[in-house]
């Protein structure tokens, strides 16, 4: 049983992961029941690809749309959603394992799964550490709230039989919070190696849509411009490089910080930053193939609590990545040691500007890092490898006591 905190009907960063894991589990001959929410109705509640499998069933639970800035209302909404799911978990009898997706209120989903899940083992999948990510991004500043939510998170760990994390840095964080090593399994966020690939300039739909000139060096960020995204770093670097008229910073997507970012860009008169709206999922390869280099600027402390899933997609599209992240992280070292991109400290805008100029001036280095990244991604981040790891884990946990 997949117990998702979100639904397929609303666009979200985990959509492609949710879809792939369900589809590949079904393809492996395992019956699947999905519990997910219905909120916006922008997409179908269930992807049609699932319905061709006789072993697929589902339950859709209504969930109110709540403003992202209303923390208390969102948290209470999450608790209510967990409670509303109890009857569906209780009524579905024939399953051997429950997979619970992470969210700020995952504790309550885990509690409901434990109380009404027929004593079946539970895998808790952590995509985004809570409250760690909220603290690092500056959203949760109150010390008493931090203490309370860290204690609640430790209870969530106890309710699970296994925990999956998406990076070595995240594994270290979970260990620091008292979880034993044998309970933690690292399965990275993958890209779909069957569909995500480089799209050449002449065939690129994003290029045609915005009539982009080919003679510019595009430094791109495509994704959510939320609290973990360091837009101040982008502004500082764009200021440093404003005399390079053929370097353009493409900012693609939406998020809670986008409006503030846009206003500050206008106030500073930075014409080298250009904003674009979020593109639909089928445009992923076109969008990432547009850039000369991708920029991933994260605030201090974020990388251990979350991981940018776009990195694997960029590797698949043969694009070098420039990271502005914590110097003491495994993620930082991975890019520099494997020559798949450049990592610099997120406290050093001058070093980030220098990294951009290094790739700007050296086309052969860009191409070398792009090819290295492509092969690294195929080896470590491909869907075909990582959903297999997940399915193998299902069998391991389900048969642990036999």
Q: Is residue 325 part of a domain?
A: yes
Do 375 and 388 lie in a common domain? no
Do 217 and 330 lie in a common domain? yes
Q: How confident is the model at residue 210, as a pLDDT?
A: 97
Q: How confident is the model at residue 401, as a pLDDT?
A: 60
Helix boundaries (H) for 194-257: 205-210, 231-240
Q: Is residue 284 part of a domain?
A: yes
CB 20 within 8 A of CB 50: no
Q: Is residue 366 part of a domain?
A: yes
CB 356 within 8 A of CB 306: no
Q: How confident is the model at residue 309, as a pLDDT?
A: 80
Task: Look at the block and give the residue holding tokens 């992240």.
Answer: 325
> Would strands 321-325 and 247-254 be described as parallel, antiparallel, or unpaired?
unpaired
Containing structural domain, residue 55: 2-190+382-398
Do 116 and 239 lie in a common domain? no
Terminal alpha carbon distance of the chain: 20
The enclosing domain of 149 has a CATH number of: 3.40.50.2000
Do 173 and 240 lie in a common domain? no
Q: Is residue 195 part of a domain?
A: no
Query: Residues near 291 by Cβ (< 8 Å), separated by ≥ 6?
Result: 218, 219, 220, 222, 250, 319
* Residue (of 60, 59, 74, 50) closest to 10 by Cα position: 60
Do 120 and 169 lie in a common domain? yes
* Residue (of 344, 310, 349, 83) closest to 231 by Cα position: 349
Q: Which two tokens stand for residue 124?
A: 């808790």
Do 276 and 333 lie in a common domain? yes
Q: Give the integer Cα–Cα distance in Å for 113 and 123.
A: 10
Beta bridge partners of 249: 219, 273
Do 233 and 352 lie in a common domain? yes
Q: Is residue 196 part of a domain?
A: no
Q: Give the integer Cα–Cα distance in Å for 305 and 12.
A: 18
Do 262 and 387 lie in a common domain? no
Do 230 and 318 lie in a common domain? yes
**Cα–Cα separations (whole angstroms), residue 251 to 171, 234, 273, 388:** 31, 10, 7, 34
Q: Give the integer Cα–Cα distance in Å for 165 and 21.
A: 15
Q: Which two tokens stand for residue 282?
A: 């089928």
Specify the DSSP element, H or E, that contains 157.
helix 143-159
Task: Look at the block and give the residue holding tokens 């990076």.
Answer: 167
Q: Is residue 270 part of a domain?
A: yes
Q: Is residue 249 part of a domain?
A: yes
Do 71 and 111 lie in a common domain? yes
Helix boundaries (H) for 225-279: 231-240, 258-268
Do 351 and 392 lie in a common domain? no
Q: Across the 402 residues of the chain, what is the mean pLDDT of every consecutive 10-residue run?
A: 93 86 96 95 92 95 87 93 94 89 94 92 94 88 93 94 95 94 94 92 97 97 92 97 97 94 97 95 94 95 87 94 96 96 97 98 97 96 94 92 57
Q: Give the integer Cα–Cα distance in Å for 327 and 344.
A: 7
Q: How confident is the model at residue 158, as a pLDDT?
A: 94
Q: Which two tokens stand for residue 374?
A: 């492509």
Q: Give the integer Cα–Cα distance in Å for 252 and 249.
A: 10
Do 144 and 211 lie in a common domain? no
Domain tally, the chain: 2
């Amino acid at each position: 049983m997949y117990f998702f905190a979100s639904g397929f009907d609303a666009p979200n960063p985990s959509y492609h992961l949710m879809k792939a894991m369900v589809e590949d589990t079904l393809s492996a001959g395992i019956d699947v029941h999905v519990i997910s929410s219905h909120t916006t109705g922008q997409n179908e509640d269930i992807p049609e690809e699932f319905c061709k499998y006789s072993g697929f069933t589902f339950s859709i639970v209504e969930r109110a749309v709540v403003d992202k800035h209303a923390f208390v209302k969102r948290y209470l909404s999450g608790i209510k959603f967990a409670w509303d799911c109890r009857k569906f978990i209780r009524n579905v009898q024939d399953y051997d394992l429950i997979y619970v997706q992470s969210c700020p209120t995952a504790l309550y989903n885990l509690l409901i799964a434990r109380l009404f899940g027929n004593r079946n083992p539970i895998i808790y999948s952590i995509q985004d550490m809570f409250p760690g990510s909220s603290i690092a991004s500056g959203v949760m500043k109150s010390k008493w709230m931090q203490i309370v939510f860290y204690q609640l998170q430790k209870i969530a760990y106890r309710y699970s039989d296994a925990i999956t994390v998406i990076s070595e840095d995240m594994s270290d964080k979970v260990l620091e919070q008292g979880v034993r090593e044998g309970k933690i399994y690292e399965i990275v966020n993958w890209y779909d190696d069957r569909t995500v690939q480089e799209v050449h300039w002449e065939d690129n739909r994003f290029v045609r849509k915005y009539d982009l000139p080919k003679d510019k060096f595009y430094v791109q960020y495509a994704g959510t411009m939320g609290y973990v995204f360091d837009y101040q770093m982008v502004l500082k670097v764009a200021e440093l490089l404003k005399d390079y008229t053929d370097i353009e910073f493409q900012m693609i997507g939406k998020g809670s910080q986008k409006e503030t970012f846009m206003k500050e860009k206008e106030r500073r008169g930075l014409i080298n930053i250009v904003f674009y709206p979020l593109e639909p999922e089928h445009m992923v390869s076109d969008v990432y193939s547009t850039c000369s280099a991708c920029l991933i600027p994260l605030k201090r402390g974020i990388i251990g609590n979350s991981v940018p899933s776009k990195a694997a997609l960029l590797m698949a599209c043969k694009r070098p990545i420039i990271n502005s992240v914590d110097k003491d992280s495994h993620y930082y070292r991975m890019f520099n040691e494997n020559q798949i991109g450049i990592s610099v400290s997120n406290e050093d805008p001058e070093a980030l500007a220098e990294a951009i100029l290094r790739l700007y001036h050296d086309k052969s280095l860009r191409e070398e890092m792009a090819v290295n990244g492509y092969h690294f991604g195929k080896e470590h981040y491909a869907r075909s490898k990582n959903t297999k790891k997940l399915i193998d884990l299902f069998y391991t946990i389900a048969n642990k006591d036999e």
